[in-house]
Structure 1
Amino acid sequence: MGGRYVTAPGTFKQENFLAPDGQRAYGDFAYVFYQTPVNAKRLPLVFQHGGAQSKRTWESTADERDGFQNLFLRKDYSVYLLDQPRSGEANLSIRAVAPDTPWVSNPMYHDKTFYILSRIGHFDADGRPVANAQFPAGDAAYQAFQQSWSVGSGPLDNDLNADVLAQLADKTGGAVLVTHSMGGNIGWRAAMRLNKVKAIGAWEPGGTPFVFPENEMPQIVQASFPALSATAIGVPLEDFQKLTRIPIVLYYGDHIKLGSDNVGEDKWGTELAMAKQFVAAVNRHGGDAELVHLP
């Protein structure tokens, strides 16, 4: 889905075939896997993953139980799993990786840091994981969780990601978007690009900016580590109003607490505070948005 290329100057010569002269770099496409059941419901579900992830998010749990892919397929929904450009099986990029992408420059970043920031759990003073009632216990599940990351092959570009997500919704003739984490921003932007996005279910959107009318910017709640704070960007009101024409639901789980000494819980406390302001802004302009806090 999508894709583009750039061409190096010069002329390709076989005797110098390793040189870039006259050759093209292809990339920036999305990879899409889809399944359509017999007697499928009218609108498919399009699943947009979060940051440093891939369509693997939706395929199965860390202990190999069915993921959303199979759960919704059994409910007669067509399911589309997307690897956004520069991620997973769409990892060709026309731009080199950026040094400010920490999970590219430091492979150790995946381990306890992502475990904490994802609120799967946290570690005590001795470095041992604290028991969690929901995440499957044991080293095998922990390792499966850590092996699910996709480092990306180029800089994060959510305008590019929104473009291809909107193209996919257009190609299916309309779709419900299911987004996760950093993918939430991509879903908002895709819905503002065309009217083929019919609804959005966002699982813990955050990590990239929420969108607001440019003259109604929200209050920023600071995290203990300011760089982890929720963020927002302004868009023209006429673009924001496109979000008021579709139903939107946001889901947040447990281990969210502003001021917590766990950086993940604190960081997501700021995201939840921002999400409440986002929902209020959508509804203030006549929309139908709801925030569900599960605990």
Structure 2
Amino acid sequence: MKKSSLLLAVLPLAVLAGCQHIPSSTLYIEKQGSFTVGGRYITHKGTFSAENFISPEGQRAYGDFAYVNYQIPVNAKPYPLIFQHGGAQSKRTWESTVDGREGFNNLFLRKGYSVYLLDQPRSGESNLSTEALDPATPWASNPMYGDKTFYILSRIGHYDQQGNPVPNAQFPVGESYYQAFQQSWSVGSGPLDNDLNADVLAQLVNQTEGAVLVTHSMGGTIGWRAAIRSDKVKAIVAYEPGGTPFIFPETEMPTITKARFEHLSATAMGVPMNDFLKLTQIPIVLYYGDYIQLGSENVGEDKWGTEFAMAKQFVDAINRHGGDATLVHLPIMGIHGNSHFLMGEKNNQQLADLMEKWLKEKGLDK
């Protein structure tokens, strides 16, 4: 930003109203900052001694909090958007795209929404844990040899016999973008605990006067569970939820569609009916991209075929109990080529506009 634009950005609005040369792309932020939410500590047995100050005796280990970065634009809309990332990811999911364009963070700031980006407990900048890693923690070790695995499971492309990537129409093409995508992953620093993640997300929601949750992938189950824990969730926008359980009434468990690699199949967990009915009190929309096909030889396409089948049952269950849930398959709308990371692809502005339209239809923009 030019120095003159930077100065203008902090002038009172009354002065700005008289300035005719302000670039239309200038983004005005009223307030921004960061904080942590949740967290706990455990105390090592023994007595602290200054003579042995590096010993754990009598000292505390802190962790299990979320790190939150927020921005509030001038004349913000009433309900902020809280962005929950997916597995092995961080708040970077919602920031700049791999080819340097604006991500959902800035796109929705420009639309007038306050934006809260969080790193869930034991991830990203929230990487302190009160529990040690265990072998069951996914993607928890370095080096992380999984670039082709992530590429395939995210449906960004597939590899032929020579190992050449075949990208789809929407993910930016090129070695530098491939590297940027692979450098977005975050290893876990403690056991994956989505009830802990939901507890902390609900605490964040409770600090607002109401918020819309925007989730991705494995963050989907965290969003459902947070809405059960907090009555201040006003809506949920879920981008390709899956990889962790969908929520159903414990007396109405769904049919599991098996993937070719069975451990990749969609899953579900049951909750008491009174808890499930809380999900029927808010509007919910689920967005899925392209290249989703049960039985496909591409592992990612097949895996997400099972998740899409589960999503249909989830939406049906909510609506059957009087709720307001919508499942959007983008190719049916004529929007083609999106992978699992659709919020960072070449048409992310179009997808942000689609989400904005839904928020307006539900009266969440005023």
Instruction: Mark yes or no: TM-score above 0.5.
Output: yes
Aligned to 1:252: 288
- Indicate the residue corresponding to 2:222 in structure 1: 186
Size of the aligned set, in residue pairs, is 295
Which of 107, 114, 118 is the equivalent residue of 2:150?
114
User: 2:183 maps to what in 1?
Assistant: 147
Residues 131-146 of structure 1 mapped to structure 2, 5 A cutoff: 131-146=167-182
Conservation of the 8 A alpha-carbon contact between 1:99 and 1:105: no
Q: Does 1:46 align with 2:82?
A: yes
Matched, 1:14 2:37: no
Task: Give the TM-score of the pair, scaled to structure 2.
Answer: 0.79
Q: 3-state DSSP class of the match of 2:327?
A: strand
Which residue does 2:111 correspond to in 1?
A: 75
Looking at structure 1, the residues matched to 307 and 244 of structure 2 have their Cα atoms a distance apart, in angstroms, of 10
Within 5 Å, which residues of 2 pair with 1:221-240? 221-240=257-276
Q: CA deviation at 1:109?
A: 3.6
Distance apart, 1:106 and its partner CA: 5.8
**Which of 154, 162, 167 is the matching residue for 2:198?**
162
- 1:268 paired with 2:312, answer no
Distance 1:9 1:228, change over 3 A: same
Per the alignment, in what secondary structure is the counterpart of residue 244 of structure 1? helix
Q: State the partner residue of 1:291.
A: 327
TM-score (norm 1): 0.98
Q: More deviation in 98-107 or 149-158? A: 98-107
Unaligned runs of 5+ in 2: 1-36, 332-366
The higher radius of gyration belongs to 2
1:190-238 CA-partner distances (Å, limit 9, x unpaired): 0001210000000000000000000000000000001000000000000
After superposition, the CA RMSD in angstroms is: 0.9
Matched-pair identity in %: 78
Q: Which amino acid aligns with 2:148?
A: K
> Residues 247 and 269 of structure 2 are in contact (CA less than 8 Å); yes or no, is this contact kept in structure 1?
yes
Residue from 120, 129, 141 that aligns with 2:165: 129
| 2:286 aligned counterpart, secondary structure | strand
Change (3 A) 1:106 1:256: farther
Tell whether the 8 Å contact from 1:46 to 1:79 is kept in structure 2 after alignment: yes
Q: Whole-Å Cα distance in 2 between the matches of residues 220 and 265 of structure 1?
A: 17
**Which stretches in structure 1 are left out of the alignment for 5+ residues?**
none
